[in-house]
Amino acid sequence: MSNLNIYVACGSGIATSTVAANKIEDIVKEIGISRYKINKISMTELPSVISSADVVFTTNRYKGEHEVPVMSVVPFITGIREEATKEKVRELLEEVMKNKGDNK
């Protein structure tokens, strides 16, 4: 079973995605996913790699077409509704893992 391939995107690929990726990694570890790769990326690079992703988190709205789940995680930056967002990220990751086949 391959690694869970997670992309975290923001405008520059280095600022808000860095903060968001750090929080997402905590959740990934918390739910016991051991084989994963978190890639930080810019929104402009996203369309060219999105087909290889299992799940994508962004701090900007992604307008492109996509078949993989994409979720906005701005609350990780503002702290507003952060707990609710963590819960949603957890649920989404668990669902993605289930669809991928359990690779814990």
Is position 59 an interface residue for other proteins (rule: CB under 8 A)? yes
Is the CB of 61 or the CB of 98 nearer to other proteins?
Answer: 61
DSSP 59: S
Is position 19 an interface residue for other proteins (rule: CB under 8 A)? yes
Is position 99 an interface residue for other proteins (rule: CB under 8 A)? no
Is position 79 an interface residue for other proteins (rule: CB under 8 A)? yes
Alpha-carbon distance of 54 to 61, in angstroms, equals: 18
- CB within 8 A of 103, min separation 6: which ones? 1, 2, 3, 4, 33, 35, 97
Is the CB of 32 or the CB of 79 nearer to other proteins?
Answer: 79
Q: What is the DSSP string of 8-55?
A: EEESSSSSHHHHHHHHHHHHHHHTT--SEEEEEEETTTHHHHGGG-SE
Least distance in angstroms from the C-beta of 34 to other proteins? 22
Is the CB of 3 or the CB of 42 nearer to other proteins?
Answer: 42
Is position 12 an interface residue for other proteins (rule: CB under 8 A)? yes
List of residues contacting other proteins (CB under 8 A): 10-12, 14-16, 18-19, 22, 42-44, 59-61, 72, 74, 77-80
